[in-house]
Structure 1
Amino acid sequence: MFFQLVKNTLFLAVLGLVSCQAQTNSEKQTHNTERQVSPSSTLMVGANQTQAYFNKLKGKRIGIVGNQTSVIFKENGAYTHLVDSLLVHNFNIVRVFSPEHGFRGKADAGEQVKNGMDTQTGLPIISLYGKNKKPTPAQLEGIDLLIFDIQDVGTRFYTYISTLHYVLEAAAENNIAVLVLDRPNPNGAYVDGPVLELQHKSFVGMHPIPVVHGMSIGEYAQMIIGQNWLEKGVKPELEVIPVKNYTRQDPYILPIKPSPNLPNAQAIKLYPSLCFFEGTQVNAGRGTALQFQVFGSPFLAKNYFDFSYTPKANEGAKNPKHMGQLCYGRNLSNSKIENKIQLDWLIEAYQNTADKSKFFNSFFTKLAGTAKLQSQIEAGLSPEAIRKTWKPALKAFKKMRANYLIYE
């Protein structure tokens, strides 16, 4: 192990864990407000444990890697953005770095985000999903410490962990320490899916891990370093502030949606299974109010599927797949979701599409991390037969993963 677990410290704040109430008229900026959540647990995220890390920030020039989820919760159900909280305590924040979807989490998936300036604080915001995904030496100039605080959802193709990789790598190359303020993984109770083959490495899959890895951001940061996955084996100075009173089996409902198209717990639970549709001709609910809770396509057999909808432009989906076209498929918004990747819907859609030769696109292999899954589906293998082929690599991954776990 190369990490140091922080000793338990007393802190009086109670974490709120359910959906945020509506923003008031005076709360026009996402990050510079107090917002309301309902307290329901004594679980305490890393950011809330200010007594564990505030002393580490004194005299440091700080960079924040964060977005709309980087908040400190309060006893009364309110929360404030980490940036605002640190500024109130007169810490020296030099600049802010934002991942995919931007600092406020409004940009579409895959939409390039530009650099800018925060209108409330005057801090420069550097996009790590624009011209460059890895912080440059110039962007890191004058920084002694990088704080990484972003809520993840526990899948390989959710790009916040790819941003984490590049932040760790750049920090090591520029002799900058990294402090990860950890948060729970809402899909942390299981490990599943094909393990990525390195020939299919991309920004939606950088390392040989399964689709669902069952790790927190802090645990995954330790794995990235410990497995020598950074360029030339560089190793930054890393410290993780773990979540208190948490096990990976604990259900965790995100109080703030982590990106525009994951609006609720059902979408987050379905995401590991339905995201595969992003590499096909099937729409996965973008352009509806049920993002990643429905799927459909104009090319699916309307006499087979019992649900239809028409995608329209909305927040997070300015030009959704099949916009304005009637799509046939399934509504899973009230379905009970098991802790596993569900292949039945993907196979069902493939088998009932008009032209199977046009069902998959090149992005599918990047999402799967292997060309085998598409071949298996085209060959007519059952979900059980496909899942069986994952077992050896999953067993090896779990053995390796055990070296980096913080939580039971």
Structure 2
Amino acid sequence: MSYVRTGIERLAADPGLIRGGRIGLITNPTGVLPDLTPGVTALRAAGVPPAVLFSPEHGMYGTAQAGFGEREDLDPSTGLPVLDTYGKDGRALDDLVESSGVDTLVFDIADIGTRFYTYVWTMHDLIASAARLGLRFVVLDRPNPLGGTLAEGPLLDPAYAGPVGRAAVPVRHGLTAGELALLVNRSIGADLQVITAEGWRRDTPFEDTGQPWVMPSVNMPTLETALVYPGTGLFEGTNLSEGRGTTRPFELIGAPYLDGRFAAGLNALDLPGVRFRDTRFVPTFHKHAGTTVRGVQLHVHDRETFRPVLTALSMLHLARSLHPEDFAWHDAADGEPYFVDRLWGSDSLRHRLDAGGDPTDLCPPPAHPQVRLDGGPLLYH
């Protein structure tokens, strides 16, 4: 095991890493030290106490479902004000940040390495707000739990930018939050500092970092969930259940119209690193709540060869081919792209499937993240 010291650990041990000021801490339940001490507690003990807390999607305590924040005004443990950033950008976000009276924003949230996970885009919007307001922004970096050696999936088309993707990075991007911050700040120009995760290498398995797995959100319970999410998260844009309302979200995929041909057909494809178990489940909420659906559970047996995006494209193609009259996309709101287009980063996937085509060639072969950051190459080797 090669122990990794995260940005919050380094700052708690050496408060001189950032300049003094009135700090606003952007965090959630993942913002902890290895002994599970909350970051806010560690910073107060170190003499760099946050004055205000800012929360992302799912809230400061991680209780809210997808698409919601919490409405807490005060943190009962510290008495600090809690400001909900979710759903705010531009002037509304500027007003919220300015009302806090902070001069430094500090970001400490664990990301899961998938473009359509919202925390890094909350970070992006707050970096932009900091630039407009003349504030400093500090990222306390953490390992990417999917590693940093591979990127998979297409780049985001800027025409489809939104809360689930603000920058042209692949679906599985292979970057840390700090690296993404440096990337997006090229066009923003904020006073940005990244306190790196000392000792992390791009090929370090998460289990070898010495960091605890804390659920980043209510439907991301395990590392295995995060591993499949860059692919099966795309099912959120369809009428298939992505397993919300079960104990295995994103590992269970199903619909009332699927049958045993789905698992058999997927296993016949011999996709790398994964097998599929024919199963039935009853979601307790969300799509098909209270209804028995049939589908598959993904069983990843080789993380090194498993390709989550390629796997999901094969699953979507087979489901659409077996049940063309039943398979459907979530309707688009007036003037808005289909949600799957937001997730994929363009409308190419939807159009290919609707034409009856195989979408797997829309996914470039996995490659090492090739990004050059301000001042040099990627932060980690």
Q: Same fold (TM over 0.5)?
A: yes
Q: Distance in 2 between matches of 1:70 and 1:51?
A: 12
Cα offset, 1:368, TM superposition: 0.6
State whether structure 2 residue 314 is matched by structure 1 residue 344. Answer: yes
1:196 pairs with 114, 133, 156, which one?
156
Q: Distance in 1 between matches of 2:373 and 2:192?
A: 18
State whether structure 2 residue 178 is matched by structure 1 residue 218. Answer: yes
2:129 pairs with 157, 170, 177, which one?
170
Matched residue of 1:344: which SS?
helix
Q: Distance in 2 between matches of 1:150 and 1:407?
A: 18
Q: Distance in 1 between matches of 2:191 and 2:247?
A: 42
Structure 1 range deviating more: 107-116 or 377-386: 377-386
RMSD value, Cα: 2.5
Q: Which amino acid aligns with 1:125?
A: V
The residue number in structure 2 matching 1:323 is 289
Cα offset, 1:136, TM superposition: 2.4
Q: Taking structure 1 as reference, are residues 56 and 407 closer, same or farther at Cα in structure 2, changes over 3 Å only?
A: closer
Listed as ranges, the matches of 1:38-49 within 5 Å are: 41-49=2-10
Q: Distance in 2 between matches of 1:59 and 1:386?
A: 48
How many residues align structurally? 349
The residue number in structure 2 matching 1:295 is 253
Listed as ranges, the matches of 1:257-272 within 5 Å are: 257-272=215-230
State whether structure 2 residue 359 is matched by structure 1 residue 398. Answer: no
Cα offset, 1:137, TM superposition: 3.6
Give ranges in structure 2 of 5+ residues lacking alignment. 264-277, 332-337
Cα offset, 1:324, TM superposition: 0.5
Percent identity between matched residues is: 32
Q: Distance in 2 between matches of 1:120 and 1:395?
A: 44
Structure 1 contact 285–295 (Cα < 8 Å) conserved? yes
Q: Which amino acid aligns with 2:196?
A: P
Cα offset, 1:237, TM superposition: 1.1
Q: Which amino acid aligns with 2:246?
A: T
1:245 pairs with 192, 199, 210, which one?
199
Cα offset, 1:200, TM superposition: 1.2
Cα offset, 1:206, TM superposition: 1.3
Q: Taking structure 1 as reference, are residues 53 and 299 closer, same or farther at Cα in structure 2, changes over 3 Å only?
A: farther
Cα offset, 1:257, TM superposition: 1.5
Cα offset, 1:303, TM superposition: 5.5
State whether structure 2 residue 339 is matched by structure 1 residue 369. Answer: no
Matched residue of 1:147: which SS?
strand
1:66 pairs with 21, 27, 31, which one?
27
Structure 1 range deviating more: 300-309 or 146-155: 300-309
The residue number in structure 2 matching 1:307 is 279
TM-score between the two structures when normalised by the length of structure 1: 0.79
Structure 1 contact 290–333 (Cα < 8 Å) conserved? no
Give ranges in structure 1 of 5+ residues lacking alignment. 1-39, 313-318
Cα offset, 1:111, TM superposition: 1.9
The residue number in structure 2 matching 1:180 is 139
After superposition, the C-alpha distances for 1:112-149 in whole angstroms (9 at most, x for unaligned) are 43252101111011111156586324533421211111
Q: Which amino acid aligns with 1:169?
A: A
Matched residue of 1:49: which SS?
helix
After superposition, the C-alpha distances for 1:13-39 in whole angstroms (9 at most, x for unaligned) are xxxxxxxxxxxxxxxxxxxxxxxxxxx
Matched residue of 1:116: which SS?
coil
Cα offset, 1:332, TM superposition: 1.0
The residue number in structure 1 matching 2:267 is none
The residue number in structure 2 matching 1:407 is 380
Cα offset, 1:45, TM superposition: 1.1
After superposition, the C-alpha distances for 1:49-78 in whole angstroms (9 at most, x for unaligned) are 1377502456411100111111122xxxx2
The residue number in structure 2 matching 1:21 is none
Cα offset, 1:269, TM superposition: 0.5
Q: Distance in 1 between matches of 2:24 and 2:62?
A: 18
Structure 2 contact 202–380 (Cα < 8 Å) conserved? yes
Q: Taking structure 1 as reference, are residues 304 and 57 closer, same or farther at Cα in structure 2, changes over 3 Å only?
A: closer
Listed as ranges, the matches of 1:88-167 within 5 Å are: 88-130=45-87, 135-140=93-98, 141-167=100-126
Q: Taking structure 1 as reference, are residues 359 and 163 closer, same or farther at Cα in structure 2, changes over 3 Å only?
A: closer
Structure 2 contact 151–369 (Cα < 8 Å) conserved? no
Structure 2 contact 52–80 (Cα < 8 Å) conserved? yes
Matched residue of 1:212: which SS?
coil
Q: Which amino acid aligns with 2:323?
A: T
Q: Taking structure 1 as reference, are residues 354 and 385 closer, same or farther at Cα in structure 2, changes over 3 Å only?
A: closer
Q: Distance in 1 between matches of 2:319 and 2:170?
A: 23
Cα offset, 1:169, TM superposition: 0.7
Q: Distance in 2 between matches of 1:248 and 1:212?
A: 14
Q: Distance in 1 between matches of 2:279 and 2:42?
A: 46
TM-score between the two structures when normalised by the length of structure 2: 0.84
Q: Which amino acid aligns with 2:153?
A: G
After superposition, the C-alpha distances for 1:323-345 in whole angstroms (9 at most, x for unaligned) are 00111111114544435322212
